[in-house]
Structure 1
Amino acid sequence: MNKLTTVILAGLTMVGPLAIDTYLPSFHAIGQDFNVSQVLVQQTLSVFLFAFAFMMLFYGTLSDSIGRRPVILWSLAVYTAASFGAAFAPSFGWLLVCRAVQGLAAGGGSVVSRAIVRDRASGSEAQRVLAYIMMVFGLAPAIAPVLGGWLHVAFGWRSVFLFLGGFGLLMFVVCYRALPESLPRTARHPFHPATIVKNYWMVLSHPRFLLLALAMGIAFGGFGLYIGSAANFVMNILHLPETSFGWMFIPMISGMTIGSALAARFAARFAPLKMILAGQLIMAIAAVLNVAYNYFFAAAVPWAVLPLALYAFGVALATPAMTILALDIFPENRGLASSLQSFVQMLVFAVVSGVVAPMLFESAFKLACGVLTVLMLSVVFWHLGKPRGIAR
């Protein structure tokens, strides 16, 4: 797979994280502008995430039937329109609807990009490419809230959605001109409802696939707790201004970027199970340190965010190998498998950030305990679902 395609696929996976994180510094201003509570403003994130997760169920199947390229282009077009609609929202209800449409459209690129990687690469090469994509993708949550904070201060919260619309339009043009189709017509599945239902059931009824998908999704849930709590964590717990979200996101995403780079470097050198075990051990150390720090000390930078960087490092180290192991269970239905894998991950992320985070975001110690809890659940699911009889 050439470098340009890898960069384009990484850009596609940035669409969703940008839509999630860029407007976080504007939460309080949106509430004041529309005269609604912060609990209601939080629903603009929850609605986006649930719509994002729901539509992921279908992108892979559509791409298996009509090709990867049309699905990506149509999803980008709708996402761009919804982003501009949110920028000019005359009411909170309108903003909520636009966020839902954004969520429905934002996942096309991230789902289909995984299938494209497996269309064009296999084994350690596919694992390496996925790691590089994660490395570029990891820049989005680091840049997004920092950029969003400065856009908000300089031009107001609506400029954030104008930026998201501009990024969607840019990705549409780039994909239209430079992203070729990776699934030949001869390899596509007929779009018959009975066949589609049968394939969904085949994947959903496979215990090992579901356990692996849950293990990945729940591990990412640790990020969901802090992302869903970002406004409260940065401004109320750390007592920092709207332009300081980088204190939380830059260390976190730096850890993910470094972990992804090492995962790519070591993909051909170490067996997948060893990479996953190393990642889980690092996540466990980070989660325990996070709980210990917040038990004994009041949260303050930089110490309150350093365990998040280490946790992100562990996640990035383990995720490419776990992704490949899950997708390879269904080599003839990689688009569908990628859809369901992404759906499980985003559904867990939505529940954690939209439902669990509001229960914990008043306390740094509670957030730390939440991360440790979700990691323990992730490890349990991994050990129940991990493949037997492959190289260690």
Structure 2
Amino acid sequence: MPVTSSPTPSRASARITLTLATLAMIGPFTIDTVFPAFGRIGTEFGASEVGLQQLVSAYLAAFAVMSILHGPLSDALGRKPVTIGGLVIYLIGMFGSILAPGLGGLVALRVLQGMSAGAATIVSRVVIRDMFAGPEAQRLMARVMMIFSVAPALAPILGGWLLLLGDWRWVFAGVGLYGVVTLVLTALLPETLPRDQRTPLRLRSLLGSLVHVGRSPVMLRIASASALGFAAQFLFIAGASIIVDRLLGLGEQDFWVLFVPLIIGMMSGSWVVGRAAAVVPRPRLITIGYLAAILAALVNLLLVAVSPAPDGTISPALIPLVAGPMLLAFAVSLVFAPIQLEVLDLFPHERGAAASLGTFFSLVLNALLAGVIMPIVSTSLLAVGTASLLFAAGGTALWVWHLAATRGGASAVAPAGA
């Protein structure tokens, strides 16, 4: 529906908000619910720690590659058909995992899940911007993010509970049922892109929109800044199985120790973003978030350096070790929703393509975090914290460059070569 005829977020139905959040939560549920099952999967298939990490990196890599197409397809076919089609394929991959004969087959099915899950995650963000503009869009994005923030904490806890029912296959069955509920809710959503505003469904047109968006230096700067900033927090999520199991010495039922502080940080940051929507200009809020991320990363390093080594038990001694990631989650949440809207507002007539490319940068980096970077820096919590600080600093540097290049951060499309 056109923005001018859409309701304000205060009148948006709880069902629409919940459905958009449910779509956004597909990604965290697909990644994090499986973490507690890594030990059992490794035992059954004789897989190493590095091999098991490919269950995350393969999913993220496939998600990244296909994310390039989900947005442009939604510009051509409409938001709802692309989302529903992606969910159907996702469910095939999820329930198929129950029958996987070995680690190779399971990784292949994770690729199928990654190829299709982006239709839900990416298009749900575009729907928000289809329906609302300005502070209203930021408020709804923040509201969705507050609900979405529950997923990273709830997912591994749910995975641990599902393992009480039987082997690791119960985890994939449980996430599959979540996908079925999401599919039903999505079928009840309205279509937000009228037919007269859609782009032609031709390969040349789809690729042309991607090239147009991808040639913008402003887009490249903002998307890269967003990816690096989010990586400062996502490093702890991508490596959760290593952090909880090996570095903290805890068990498969104890992922809540890491994820509950993360959810507190994310929800608190999202709440602040919603409250600040009409008070703090978007570029200024993003700047505050990046500076806060650097400060949080430094605090995390200090807390890790002065804390005693974990003894494998859940005790107050763990609080300093998870307080740093919580502060990082808060700071990154100040950036996430506003910078997503910055990306979408660069190309108002090609929002799907902008959302796809903006997400692509983060997904490629996230795949590298899970499959390459985390195994390298997982020698200690201090090494993980140092890597997080470098990502926060890199994102901040790119954002400052963007502000300088656009003379105060005006969100305008820069032509190629500008």
Which category of TM-score, normalised to the shorter sequence, fits these structures? over 0.9
Alignment of 1:131-210 (within 5 A): 131-176=142-187, 178-210=188-220
Please point out which of 308, 311, 316 is paired with 1:298.
308
User: 1:179 is aligned with what amino acid?
Assistant: L
Kindly, what percent of the aligned residue pairs are identical? 36
C-alpha contact (below 8 Å) 1:224/1:353 kept by paired residues: no
The match for 1:376 is 393
The match for 1:218 is 228
The match for 2:51 is 40
Q: Give the Cα separation in 2 of the matches to 1:391 and 1:346.
A: 26
3-state SS, counterpart of residue 303 of structure 1: helix
Cα offset, 1:389, TM superposition: 4.6
Q: Give the Cα separation in 1 of the matches to 2:122 and 2:409.
A: 26
The match for 2:416 is none
C-alpha contact (below 8 Å) 1:232/1:362 kept by paired residues: no
Cα offset, 1:388, TM superposition: 3.0
User: 2:232 is aligned with what amino acid?
Assistant: G
Cα offset, 1:278, TM superposition: 2.0
Cα offset, 1:68, TM superposition: 0.4
Provide, for residues 95-139 of structure 1, a one-character-per-residue CA deviation record: whole Å limited to 9, x for no partner.
Answer: 111111011111111111111111111011111111111111111
User: 2:159 is aligned with what amino acid?
Assistant: G
Change (3 A) 1:224 1:262: closer
The match for 2:284 is 274
C-alpha contact (below 8 Å) 1:299/1:364 kept by paired residues: no
The match for 1:68 is 79
The match for 2:131 is 120
C-alpha contact (below 8 Å) 1:65/1:190 kept by paired residues: yes
C-alpha contact (below 8 Å) 1:257/1:313 kept by paired residues: yes
Q: Give the Cα separation in 2 of the matches to 1:351 and 1:271.
A: 33
The match for 2:333 is 316
Q: Give the Cα separation in 2 of the matches to 1:264 and 1:366.
A: 34
User: 1:374 is aligned with what amino acid?
Assistant: F
Cα offset, 1:272, TM superposition: 0.9
Between Structure 1 and Structure 2, how many residues are aligned? 391
The match for 1:356 is 373
Please point out which of 346, 356, 360 is paired with 1:339.
356
Provide, for residues 286-312 of structure 1, a one-character-per-residue CA deviation record: whole Å limited to 9, x for no partner.
Answer: 100111122233354111011111111
User: 1:324 is aligned with what amino acid?
Assistant: L
User: 1:189 is aligned with what amino acid?
Assistant: T
C-alpha contact (below 8 Å) 1:284/1:372 kept by paired residues: yes
Cα offset, 1:229, TM superposition: 1.9
Cα offset, 1:81, TM superposition: 1.3
Q: Give the Cα separation in 2 of the matches to 1:388 and 1:335.
A: 27
> RMSD of aligned C-alpha atoms?
1.5
Provide, for residues 151-208 of structure 1, a one-character-per-residue CA deviation record: whole Å limited to 9, x for no partner.
Answer: 12442211000011101111111111x2110000000000122222222111111111
Deviates more, 1:184-193 or 1:293-302: 293-302
User: 2:407 is aligned with what amino acid?
Assistant: R
Q: Give the Cα separation in 2 of the matches to 1:198 and 1:391.
A: 25
Please point out which of 107, 129, 147 is paired with 2:140.
129
- What are structure 2's unaligned runs of at least 5 residues? 1-6, 311-317, 412-418
Cα offset, 1:391, TM superposition: 7.8
TM-score by length of 1: 0.96
